[in-house]
Amino acid sequence: MTSAMYDLMDYDEVLEKYDPVMGLEVHVELATETKMFSASSAHFGAAANENVDPVSLGLPGALPVVNAKGVEWAIKIGLALNCDIAEFSRFARKNYFYPDQPKNYQISQYDEPIASNGYLDVVLPDGTKWQVDIERAHMEEDTGKLTHIGGATGRISGATSSLVDCNRAGIPLIEIVTKPIEGARERAPEVARAYVGALRDLVKSLGVSDARMDQGSMRVDANVSLRPRGTEEYGTRTETKNINSLKSVEQAVRYEMQRQAACLERGEAIVQETRHYQESDGSTSKGRPKETAEDYRYFNDPDLPPVIAPPEWVEEIRASLPELPWVRRARIQQEWKLSDAEMRDLMNAGALELIIATTEQGATADEARAWWVSYLAGQANQQGVELEELAITPSQVARIIHLVKEGRLTTKLARQAVDGVLAGEGDVDEVVKARGLEVVRDDSAIEAAVDEALAANPDIVEKYRAGNKKVTGAIVGAVMKATKGKADPRTVNQLIAKKLA
Ligand code: ADP
Ligand code: MG
């Protein structure tokens, strides 16, 4: 695996000699109640083969019925991507054998997709806008899932047996395919990442998918090719499959550019093939030779009628679209009075959506921002994960903020509570209770600690009485120490002032 790393061309040299072209195919699993063509539950997490029925199992004679919600949501996505919505579209059979697909074909859309010719504007980390053109967004069904047993890596190679789980078979998918992305040059990896991130935010905001890349409800295939700099004709592409984080999308494109350039430099031809991305070292490795459309023997599915989307229905769906992320962002920026640079920082840190979600749970924007961009960003950095991958939710952060505001936690105690949540010790209140973090409000206990501290520091008492009111810090410190940091600072200060008056 590591030897592959040596055959890379230096990134700057790649760009001196070649021009990258990219195409991104993104699969989004819709969060419908039931499957695309049958009534089985489409929910994640059931026991293996619990959510199956004759249609998802491809039993003889079983007939698919289209899920209207699935079509409506496909149209929603298409509209949000500025696509034309076809009044008349069709399902086709994509024929191939694989054990995770019992009927030996996948129902998809081929030359008559429901949505086509759109675009999505994305913002790069430095604020530059980039328009990504969308070729089409079409409906299809997911396949089942294979688990390979006996090998070291969980891959099929080396496995001694494989298990088939058809729960996922038939879950609605929308595949969104870009037109070739040209001219991005050194920014190609950044554009790829920004596009996938923007698309993820978009489908989440539409409420049609949770778009969790880590759980496979959003999956990305990245096509990359190189052509000699200054030429027109596209080079041969490779397709790196099932990339499951934003960081990996960026790295996979970058790696393929460097690998392909090294190949071309050695005089080797690029083979049109699928490739696997290796999370461990950011490399890609050979998959299978790429099929062409002819190999799949597409034909219209005779079991399914055409999908009719009358313009009135499409307009109704358009009117039901929620505030889209870029509109919301502009509004938030204005409401929170942020400069372009501040806004960009929040977005680049992956904090914006988390902060918004935290304010929706009752925190103010300033409070939410303070937690996400300082303490939590620090923790994410330490763990080497993205902010949103931290094991704490916006509503938990909002709860922490609430407890601080009520004086039940000091900032210091609140951080310990956050640490507990991050360590998987439970919900905020459970951690506060289990770790005994709550501020001591029992005035008699605090009063005893204050009396003790005053008695132990007669010099300070003297200075205070002589008019130097600033010397109480040491007393507060002693009380905090005695109460293990859990005394309510306001109460402590009030008590000191009362006793020395
Ligand atoms: P497939 O069925 O082979 O996956 P698709 O048409 O679904 O093909 O997707 C191919 C993707 O690759 C599209 O985003 C397309 O714009 C892009 N693409 C096509 N040709 C090239 C090329 N030579 N280099 C890079 N990307 C390409
Ligand atoms: Mg494809």
Does residue 188 sit in the same domain as residue 259? yes
| Confidence at residue 470, expressed as pLDDT on a 0 to 100 scale | 81
In a domain, 464, yes or no: yes
Ligand (nearest to CA of 290): 1
Q: Is residue 239 part of a domain?
A: yes
Nearest-CA residue for ligand 1 atom 14 is: 23
Residue 6: pLDDT above 70?
Answer: no
The domain of 460 spans 443-500
Asked if residue 277 lies in contact with residue 284, where contact means CB atoms within 8 angstroms, the answer is yes
Expressed in angstroms and rounded, the spacing between residue 260 Cα and the centre of ligand 1 is: 16
Same domain, 340 and 287: no
Total domain count for the chain?
Answer: 3
**Do 127 and 163 have their domain in common?**
yes
- What is the percentage of the chain residues whose pLDDT exceeds 90? 76
**pTM across the whole model:** 0.83
The amino acid present at 387, given as its one-letter code, is L
Q: Is the dihedral of CA 245, 217, 192, 243 positive or negative?
A: positive
Name the band, by pLDDT with cuts 50, 70 and 90, for residue 417. Answer: very high
| Protein residue with least CA distance to atom 11, ligand 1 | 23
Does 165 share its domain with 280?
A: yes
CA distance 126 to 115: 31
Ligand 1 midpoint to CA 367 (Å):
45
- Final residue in a domain of this structure, among 295, 313, 332: 295
> How wide is the angle at C-alpha 191 spanned by C-alphas 189 and 196, nearest 5°?
100
Give me the amino acid identity at 490.
Answer: R
138, two tokens? 């079409």
Atom of ligand 1 nearest to the CA of 293: 2
Q: Say yes or no: 103 and 225 in one domain.
A: yes
Q: Which residues contact 411 (CB under 8 A, 6 or more apart)?
A: 404
Q: Which of 403, 418, 435 corresponds to the end of one domain?
A: 435
Ligand nearest to the CA of 27: 2
Bridging pattern class, strands 283-289 and 299-300: unpaired
> pLDDT tens digit string along 312-371?
999 999 999 999 999 999 999 999 999 999 999 998 888 998 999 999 999 999 999 999
Tokens coding 66 = 């289209």
pLDDT digits (tens, 9 = 90+) for 460-494: 888 888 888 888 888 888 888 888 888 888 888 88
- Range 150-160 average pLDDT: 83
How many angstroms separate the alpha carbon of residue 27 from the centre of ligand 2? 9
C-alpha pair distances (Å), 64 with each of 37, 51, 74: 5, 15, 18
Atom of ligand 1 nearest to the CA of 234: 23
Could you tell me if the CB of 7 is within 6 A of ligand 1?
no
308 lies in a domain?
A: no
3 pLDDT more than 70: no
The answer to whether 176 and 22 are in contact (CB under 8 A) is no
Instruction: Give the closest residue (by CA) to ligand 1 atom 3.
Output: 292
What is the 36 CA–ligand 1 centroid distance (Å)? Answer: 25
Average pLDDT, the chain: 93
Alpha helices in 22-136 (DSSP H): 68-80
Taking the C-alpha atoms of residue 202 and residue 83, their distance in angstroms, rounded to an integer, is 14
Percent of the chain with pLDDT over 70: 99
pLDDT exceeds 70 at position 412: yes
Question: Which-ligand-closest: CA of 173?
Answer: 2
Decide: helix, strand or coil at residue 424. coil
At 462, which CATH number? 1.10.10.410
Q: Give the model's pLDDT for residue 5.
A: 52
Same domain assignment for residues 93 and 190: yes
Average pLDDT over residues 67-74: 98
Ligand 1 atom nearest 235 alpha carbon: 23
- Using the predicted structure, report yes or no on whether residue 165 has a pLDDT greater than 50: yes
Q: pLDDT (tens digit, 9 = 90+) per residue, 354-377?
A: 999 999 999 999 999 999 999 999
Which of 435, 455, 474 is the endpoint of a domain? 435
Q: Are residues 117 and 237 in the same domain?
A: yes
Q: What is the pLDDT of residue 1?
A: 39
Whether residue 38 is contained in a domain is answered as yes
Q: Please give the pLDDT value at position 176.
A: 98
| 218 and 356 inside one domain | no
Given a cut of 80, whether residue 293 has pLDDT beyond it is: no
Burial of residue 444, with CB atoms counted within 10 A of its CB: 0-12 exposed, 13-18 middle, 19 or more buried: exposed
In a domain, 29, yes or no: yes
Those residues whose C-beta lies under 8 Å from the C-beta of residue 324, and which sit 6 or more positions away, are 80, 202, 205
246 shares a domain with 134: yes
Q: Is the pLDDT of residue 153 over 80?
A: no
pLDDT band (50, 70, 90) for residue 21: very high
Average pLDDT over residues 154-182: 94
User: Is 189 a pocket residue for ligand 1 (Cβ < 6 Å)?
Assistant: no
Residue 302 lies in a domain: no
pLDDT of residue 2: 41
Residue 42 has pLDDT above 50, yes or no: yes
Please compute the mean of the pLDDT values over residues 1-29 and round it to a whole number: 87
Domain identity same for 138 and 246: yes
The tokens describing 498, both together, are 């009362």
Pocket probe for ligand 1: among 19, 24, 25, the residue whose CB has the most ligand atoms within 8 Å is: 25
CA of 473 to the centre of ligand 2 (A): 67
Contact status, residue 115 vs residue 139, Cβ threshold 8 Å: no
| 8 Å CB contact between 246 and 240 | no
Concatenated DSSP letters of 259-318: HHHHHHHTTPPPP-EEEEEETTTTEEEEEEEPP-GGGGT-EE-TTSPPEE--HHHHHHHH
Residue 372 CA: distances (Å) to CA of 263, 365, 398, 401: 43, 11, 11, 11
Residue 485 and residue 361 share a domain: no
The burial class, CB within 10 Å (0-12 / 13-18 / 19+), for 500 is middle
pLDDT at 105 > cutoff 70:
yes
- Residues 6+ away with beta carbon under 8 Å from 213: 200, 219, 220, 244, 245, 246
Handedness of CA 226, 227, 229, 232 (dihedral sign): negative
User: Does residue 317 form part of some domain?
Assistant: no
Q: 94-103, 112-121, 130-139: which range is least confident on average?
A: 94-103
Asked whether residue 307 is domain-assigned, the answer is: no
341 & 448 share domain: no
Q: Cα(25) to centroid of ligand 2, in Å?
A: 6
| Ligand 1 pocket check for 234: Cβ under 6 Å | yes
